[in-house]
Amino acid sequence: MAKDIRSFLESLDDLARACEERRGQVSSLKDLEELRVEFLGRKGRLAQCMLDLPGMSAEDKPAAGRKANEIKAVLTEIIEGRERELAAAEAGAALSRFDPTLPGRRPQQGSLHPVTLVTQEICDVFAGLGFDVVSGPEVESDWYNFEALNIPPEHPARDMQDTLYVSESIVLRTHTSPLQVRTMLARKPPVAVVAPGKVYRRDSDITHTPMFHQIEGLLADRKVSMGDLRGTLTAFVRAVFGADTRVRFRPSFFPFTEPSAEVDISCVLCGGKGHVGSEPCRVCKRTGWVEILGCGMVDPNVFAAVGYDPEEITGFAFGMGVERVAMLKYGVNDLRMFFENDVRFLEQFA
Protein backbone atom coordinates (compact mmCIF):
# COMPACT_ATOMS: atom_id res chain seq x y z
CA MET A 1 0.00 0.00 0.00
CA ALA A 2 1.38 3.40 -0.98
CA LYS A 3 2.39 5.68 1.89
CA ASP A 4 0.38 8.89 2.22
CA ILE A 5 2.66 11.77 1.18
CA ARG A 6 0.82 14.26 3.37
CA SER A 7 1.60 12.40 6.58
CA PHE A 8 5.19 11.90 5.36
CA LEU A 9 5.70 15.63 4.84
CA GLU A 10 4.12 16.41 8.21
CA SER A 11 6.46 13.97 9.95
CA LEU A 12 9.43 15.74 8.37
CA ASP A 13 8.18 19.15 9.58
CA ASP A 14 7.75 17.65 13.05
CA LEU A 15 11.40 16.61 12.98
CA ALA A 16 12.55 20.17 12.30
CA ARG A 17 10.39 21.55 15.11
CA ALA A 18 11.54 18.90 17.56
CA CYS A 19 15.21 19.53 16.77
CA GLU A 20 14.76 23.30 17.15
CA GLU A 21 13.12 22.77 20.59
CA ARG A 22 15.94 20.48 21.74
CA ARG A 23 18.55 22.92 20.49
CA GLY A 24 18.14 25.26 23.45
CA GLN A 25 18.63 22.41 25.92
CA VAL A 26 22.11 21.58 24.55
CA SER A 27 24.84 23.06 26.77
CA SER A 28 27.95 21.13 25.72
CA LEU A 29 29.57 19.67 22.64
CA LYS A 30 28.92 16.21 24.04
CA ASP A 31 25.19 16.90 24.24
CA LEU A 32 25.30 18.40 20.75
CA GLU A 33 26.85 15.23 19.34
CA GLU A 34 24.10 13.17 20.94
CA LEU A 35 21.54 15.46 19.30
CA ARG A 36 23.19 15.04 15.91
CA VAL A 37 23.15 11.26 16.21
CA GLU A 38 19.50 11.29 17.30
CA PHE A 39 18.31 13.28 14.29
CA LEU A 40 20.94 12.74 11.57
CA GLY A 41 22.60 9.46 12.51
CA ARG A 42 22.45 6.34 10.35
CA LYS A 43 19.62 5.06 12.54
CA GLY A 44 18.34 8.51 13.55
CA ARG A 45 14.88 9.95 13.26
CA LEU A 46 15.37 11.31 9.72
CA ALA A 47 16.63 7.93 8.55
CA GLN A 48 13.56 6.26 10.07
CA CYS A 49 11.26 8.63 8.17
CA MET A 50 13.06 7.87 4.92
CA LEU A 51 12.11 4.21 5.29
CA ASP A 52 8.62 5.22 4.13
CA LEU A 53 9.89 6.67 0.84
CA PRO A 54 10.06 3.38 -1.15
CA GLY A 55 6.40 2.71 -0.38
CA MET A 56 5.18 5.91 -2.05
CA SER A 57 3.72 6.19 -5.50
CA ALA A 58 5.97 7.15 -8.38
CA GLU A 59 4.17 10.52 -8.66
CA ASP A 60 4.82 11.41 -4.97
CA LYS A 61 8.43 10.27 -4.65
CA PRO A 62 10.08 13.36 -6.26
CA ALA A 63 8.30 15.79 -3.95
CA ALA A 64 8.95 13.60 -0.92
CA GLY A 65 12.67 13.37 -1.77
CA ARG A 66 12.97 17.15 -2.20
CA LYS A 67 11.30 17.75 1.15
CA ALA A 68 13.54 15.23 2.86
CA ASN A 69 16.67 16.98 1.53
CA GLU A 70 15.33 20.37 2.68
CA ILE A 71 14.70 19.07 6.19
CA LYS A 72 18.14 17.46 6.32
CA ALA A 73 19.67 20.85 5.49
CA VAL A 74 17.52 22.51 8.17
CA LEU A 75 18.58 19.95 10.80
CA THR A 76 22.23 20.37 9.83
CA GLU A 77 22.05 24.17 10.14
CA ILE A 78 20.33 23.92 13.55
CA ILE A 79 23.09 21.69 14.89
CA GLU A 80 25.99 23.60 13.32
CA GLY A 81 24.52 26.92 14.47
CA ARG A 82 24.42 25.67 18.05
CA GLU A 83 28.00 24.45 17.69
CA ARG A 84 29.11 27.96 16.68
CA GLU A 85 27.28 29.43 19.66
CA LEU A 86 28.97 27.03 22.08
CA ALA A 87 32.42 27.76 20.59
CA ALA A 88 31.86 31.52 20.88
CA ALA A 89 30.71 31.15 24.48
CA GLU A 90 33.82 29.11 25.33
CA ALA A 91 36.08 31.72 23.73
CA GLY A 92 34.35 34.48 25.68
CA ALA A 93 34.76 32.54 28.92
CA ALA A 94 38.46 32.02 28.23
CA LEU A 95 38.88 35.74 27.51
CA SER A 96 37.15 36.64 30.74
CA ARG A 97 39.62 34.42 32.64
CA PHE A 98 42.63 36.20 31.06
CA ASP A 99 44.44 38.61 33.36
CA PRO A 100 46.58 41.01 31.34
CA THR A 101 48.35 42.21 34.51
CA LEU A 102 50.03 38.83 35.08
CA PRO A 103 53.66 38.50 33.91
CA GLY A 104 54.13 36.64 30.62
CA ARG A 105 55.70 33.22 30.34
CA ARG A 106 59.36 33.48 29.47
CA PRO A 107 60.08 31.43 26.33
CA GLN A 108 62.68 28.72 26.62
CA GLN A 109 65.92 29.99 25.14
CA GLY A 110 68.43 27.88 23.30
CA SER A 111 72.16 28.33 23.06
CA LEU A 112 74.92 28.05 20.52
CA HIS A 113 76.66 24.69 20.63
CA PRO A 114 79.87 24.72 22.72
CA VAL A 115 81.93 23.79 19.65
CA THR A 116 80.43 26.77 17.82
CA LEU A 117 81.13 29.04 20.79
CA VAL A 118 84.78 27.99 20.92
CA THR A 119 85.16 28.27 17.13
CA GLN A 120 83.84 31.81 17.22
CA GLU A 121 86.09 32.72 20.14
CA ILE A 122 89.21 31.37 18.42
CA CYS A 123 88.37 33.14 15.15
CA ASP A 124 87.72 36.38 17.04
CA VAL A 125 91.13 36.18 18.72
CA PHE A 126 92.94 35.70 15.42
CA ALA A 127 90.80 38.32 13.69
CA GLY A 128 92.06 40.72 16.34
CA LEU A 129 95.61 39.76 15.32
CA GLY A 130 94.90 40.60 11.67
CA PHE A 131 93.92 37.17 10.29
CA ASP A 132 91.06 36.68 7.81
CA VAL A 133 88.61 33.77 8.21
CA VAL A 134 88.27 31.57 5.10
CA SER A 135 86.17 28.53 4.21
CA GLY A 136 86.03 25.93 1.46
CA PRO A 137 84.83 22.46 0.35
CA GLU A 138 84.78 19.46 2.67
CA VAL A 139 85.23 17.07 -0.29
CA GLU A 140 88.73 17.64 -1.65
CA SER A 141 91.01 16.31 -4.35
CA ASP A 142 94.05 14.33 -3.28
CA TRP A 143 96.25 17.14 -4.59
CA TYR A 144 94.84 19.80 -2.26
CA ASN A 145 94.57 17.49 0.74
CA PHE A 146 97.97 15.79 0.41
CA GLU A 147 100.32 16.46 -2.50
CA ALA A 148 100.35 20.27 -2.37
CA LEU A 149 101.08 19.94 1.36
CA ASN A 150 104.26 17.93 0.74
CA ILE A 151 102.58 14.54 1.27
CA PRO A 152 103.17 12.55 -1.96
CA PRO A 153 101.33 9.26 -2.64
CA GLU A 154 103.84 6.96 -0.90
CA HIS A 155 104.51 9.26 2.07
CA PRO A 156 104.09 7.42 5.44
CA ALA A 157 102.23 10.42 6.88
CA ARG A 158 99.20 9.36 4.85
CA ASP A 159 98.84 6.38 7.16
CA MET A 160 98.49 8.79 10.09
CA GLN A 161 95.43 10.44 8.56
CA ASP A 162 92.98 7.48 8.46
CA THR A 163 91.51 8.95 5.29
CA LEU A 164 87.96 8.42 4.05
CA TYR A 165 88.16 8.09 0.25
CA VAL A 166 85.28 9.01 -2.05
CA SER A 167 87.28 7.72 -5.03
CA GLU A 168 90.94 7.10 -5.80
CA SER A 169 91.64 10.81 -6.14
CA ILE A 170 88.81 12.37 -4.09
CA VAL A 171 88.72 12.37 -0.29
CA LEU A 172 86.78 13.79 2.62
CA ARG A 173 89.31 16.32 3.84
CA THR A 174 91.37 15.10 6.79
CA HIS A 175 92.31 18.62 7.88
CA THR A 176 91.48 22.18 6.86
CA SER A 177 95.02 22.77 5.56
CA PRO A 178 93.79 22.52 1.93
CA LEU A 179 92.27 25.95 2.52
CA GLN A 180 95.76 27.30 3.07
CA VAL A 181 96.71 26.00 -0.38
CA ARG A 182 93.55 27.39 -1.98
CA THR A 183 94.13 30.79 -0.35
CA MET A 184 97.75 31.03 -1.47
CA LEU A 185 96.78 30.10 -5.03
CA ALA A 186 94.25 32.94 -5.00
CA ARG A 187 96.26 35.62 -3.18
CA LYS A 188 99.71 37.10 -3.24
CA PRO A 189 101.68 37.63 -0.02
CA PRO A 190 101.18 38.84 2.59
CA VAL A 191 98.58 36.22 3.55
CA ALA A 192 97.18 35.79 7.06
CA VAL A 193 94.19 33.45 7.38
CA VAL A 194 92.50 31.01 9.72
CA ALA A 195 90.37 28.21 8.30
CA PRO A 196 87.74 26.64 10.59
CA GLY A 197 85.66 23.67 9.46
CA LYS A 198 84.67 20.03 9.68
CA VAL A 199 87.20 17.30 8.92
CA TYR A 200 86.83 13.53 8.61
CA ARG A 201 88.89 10.51 9.67
CA ARG A 202 88.21 6.84 10.33
CA ASP A 203 88.45 6.93 14.10
CA SER A 204 85.99 6.68 16.99
CA ASP A 205 86.52 6.48 20.77
CA ILE A 206 86.20 8.75 23.84
CA THR A 207 88.78 11.18 22.39
CA HIS A 208 88.14 10.72 18.63
CA THR A 209 85.12 10.92 16.33
CA PRO A 210 84.82 10.27 12.56
CA MET A 211 83.85 13.91 12.08
CA PHE A 212 85.33 16.73 14.14
CA HIS A 213 86.30 20.39 13.79
CA GLN A 214 89.67 21.96 13.16
CA ILE A 215 91.08 25.44 12.77
CA GLU A 216 94.20 25.84 10.68
CA GLY A 217 96.14 29.06 10.44
CA LEU A 218 98.71 30.48 8.01
CA LEU A 219 100.87 33.57 7.87
CA ALA A 220 103.04 33.99 4.74
CA ASP A 221 105.16 37.06 4.04
CA ARG A 222 108.75 38.19 3.83
CA LYS A 223 110.94 37.70 6.91
CA VAL A 224 108.39 35.71 8.96
CA SER A 225 110.27 33.91 11.75
CA MET A 226 109.78 31.27 14.42
CA GLY A 227 109.65 34.14 16.89
CA ASP A 228 106.55 35.45 15.13
CA LEU A 229 104.99 32.02 15.45
CA ARG A 230 105.76 31.78 19.19
CA GLY A 231 104.46 35.26 19.86
CA THR A 232 101.23 34.75 17.90
CA LEU A 233 100.36 31.42 19.51
CA THR A 234 101.30 32.56 23.00
CA ALA A 235 98.97 35.55 22.61
CA PHE A 236 96.22 33.23 21.37
CA VAL A 237 96.60 30.77 24.27
CA ARG A 238 96.51 33.48 26.92
CA ALA A 239 93.49 35.14 25.31
CA VAL A 240 91.52 31.89 25.47
CA PHE A 241 92.80 30.28 28.70
CA GLY A 242 93.95 33.25 30.75
CA ALA A 243 96.94 35.54 31.11
CA ASP A 244 98.68 33.24 33.62
CA THR A 245 98.72 30.24 31.26
CA ARG A 246 102.25 28.98 30.56
CA VAL A 247 103.18 27.84 27.05
CA ARG A 248 105.93 25.55 25.80
CA PHE A 249 106.97 24.39 22.35
CA ARG A 250 108.25 20.81 21.81
CA PRO A 251 110.01 19.64 18.62
CA SER A 252 107.78 17.47 16.43
CA PHE A 253 107.26 16.49 12.79
CA PHE A 254 104.65 17.46 10.20
CA PRO A 255 105.21 16.99 6.45
CA PHE A 256 104.12 20.53 5.58
CA THR A 257 106.22 22.41 8.17
CA GLU A 258 109.95 22.42 8.97
CA PRO A 259 110.91 22.93 11.73
CA SER A 260 107.76 21.68 13.45
CA ALA A 261 106.56 21.84 17.02
CA GLU A 262 103.73 20.84 19.30
CA VAL A 263 102.39 23.40 21.74
CA ASP A 264 101.59 22.52 25.34
CA ILE A 265 99.88 24.72 27.91
CA SER A 266 99.94 24.49 31.68
CA CYS A 267 97.12 22.21 32.80
CA VAL A 268 93.81 24.02 33.09
CA LEU A 269 92.64 21.79 35.97
CA CYS A 270 95.64 21.69 38.30
CA GLY A 271 97.33 24.90 37.15
CA GLY A 272 100.45 23.01 36.11
CA LYS A 273 101.02 21.37 39.50
CA GLY A 274 100.30 17.83 38.31
CA HIS A 275 97.93 17.14 41.17
CA VAL A 276 94.66 18.39 42.67
CA GLY A 277 95.00 18.26 46.41
CA SER A 278 96.48 14.85 47.18
CA GLU A 279 95.11 13.25 44.00
CA PRO A 280 97.00 13.06 40.66
CA CYS A 281 95.48 15.33 38.01
CA ARG A 282 93.19 13.37 35.67
CA VAL A 283 93.75 15.83 32.80
CA CYS A 284 97.55 16.11 32.59
CA LYS A 285 98.39 12.73 34.21
CA ARG A 286 100.76 14.41 36.73
CA THR A 287 102.83 16.14 34.04
CA GLY A 288 101.39 19.62 34.56
CA TRP A 289 101.12 20.08 30.76
CA VAL A 290 98.49 19.33 28.10
CA GLU A 291 98.99 19.38 24.33
CA ILE A 292 96.77 21.83 22.45
CA LEU A 293 98.03 22.23 18.85
CA GLY A 294 100.71 21.59 16.26
CA CYS A 295 102.63 24.20 14.32
CA GLY A 296 105.81 25.03 12.41
CA MET A 297 107.44 27.03 9.65
CA VAL A 298 105.92 26.32 6.25
CA ASP A 299 108.00 23.84 4.25
CA PRO A 300 109.52 25.40 1.08
CA ASN A 301 107.95 22.61 -1.00
CA VAL A 302 104.47 23.88 -0.03
CA PHE A 303 105.34 27.38 -1.20
CA ALA A 304 106.74 25.99 -4.46
CA ALA A 305 103.47 24.06 -5.07
CA VAL A 306 101.44 27.28 -4.96
CA GLY A 307 103.87 29.43 -6.95
CA TYR A 308 105.47 31.33 -4.06
CA ASP A 309 109.23 31.83 -4.20
CA PRO A 310 110.58 30.04 -1.08
CA GLU A 311 113.74 32.15 -1.32
CA GLU A 312 111.66 35.29 -0.82
CA ILE A 313 108.65 34.13 1.19
CA THR A 314 108.60 32.49 4.62
CA GLY A 315 105.70 31.73 6.88
CA PHE A 316 104.25 29.69 9.68
CA ALA A 317 101.23 27.41 9.96
CA PHE A 318 99.36 25.87 12.87
CA GLY A 319 96.37 23.61 13.44
CA MET A 320 94.20 22.61 16.36
CA GLY A 321 91.13 20.52 17.10
CA VAL A 322 88.26 22.71 18.27
CA GLU A 323 86.78 19.92 20.40
CA ARG A 324 90.16 19.55 22.11
CA VAL A 325 90.18 23.23 23.03
CA ALA A 326 86.51 23.03 24.14
CA MET A 327 87.22 19.98 26.34
CA LEU A 328 90.02 21.84 28.11
CA LYS A 329 88.12 25.11 28.35
CA TYR A 330 84.90 23.58 29.72
CA GLY A 331 86.30 20.56 31.59
CA VAL A 332 84.58 17.95 29.39
CA ASN A 333 86.20 14.50 29.63
CA ASP A 334 84.37 12.63 26.84
CA LEU A 335 84.47 13.98 23.28
CA ARG A 336 81.27 12.15 22.36
CA MET A 337 79.23 14.43 24.63
CA PHE A 338 79.59 17.18 22.02
CA PHE A 339 77.71 15.06 19.45
CA GLU A 340 75.03 13.30 21.52
CA ASN A 341 72.83 16.45 21.68
CA ASP A 342 71.76 15.76 25.26
CA VAL A 343 69.80 18.88 26.26
CA ARG A 344 71.00 18.52 29.87
CA PHE A 345 74.56 18.94 28.63
CA LEU A 346 73.91 21.65 26.02
CA GLU A 347 71.79 23.90 28.23
CA GLN A 348 74.80 24.49 30.49
CA PHE A 349 76.22 26.75 27.77
CA ALA A 350 73.12 28.97 27.44
Q: Which 8-state DSSP code applies to residue 101? A: T
**CA angle 330-335-247, nearest 5°?**
55
Flag whether pLDDT at 2 surpasses 70. no
For residue range 9-39, what is the model confidence (pLDDT) as tens digits?
888 888 888 888 888 888 888 888 888 888 8
Distance between CA atoms of 228 and 93, rounded to whole angstroms? 73
pLDDT at 31: 86
pLDDT tens for residues 269-286? 788 788 878 888 877 888
DSSP 317: E
What domains appear along the chain, each with residue ranges and CATH number? 5-97 (no CATH), 114-349 (3.30.930.10)
**Res 206: pLDDT:** 60
Using one digit for the tens of pLDDT, what is the confidence trace for 139-186? 999 999 999 999 988 887 777 668 888 998 899 999 999 999 999 999
How far apart (Å, rounded) are the C-alpha atoms in residues 254 and 127? 25
114 strand-pairing partners? none
Averaged pLDDT score across all residues of the chain: 88
What per-residue confidence (pLDDT) applies to 1?
41
Question: Phi and psi dihedrals of 13, rounded to 5?
Answer: -60, -35
- The pLDDT tens digits of the residues spanning 194-252 come to 999 999 988 766 666 788 999 999 999 999 999 999 999 999 999 999 999 999 999 99
Beta strands in the chain (DSSP E): 132-133, 139-141, 164-165, 170-172, 191-200, 211-221, 247-254, 257-266, 275-276, 279-280, 289-298, 314-321
φ/ψ bin of 35: left (φ > 0), alpha (ψ from -120 to 50), beta (otherwise):
alpha
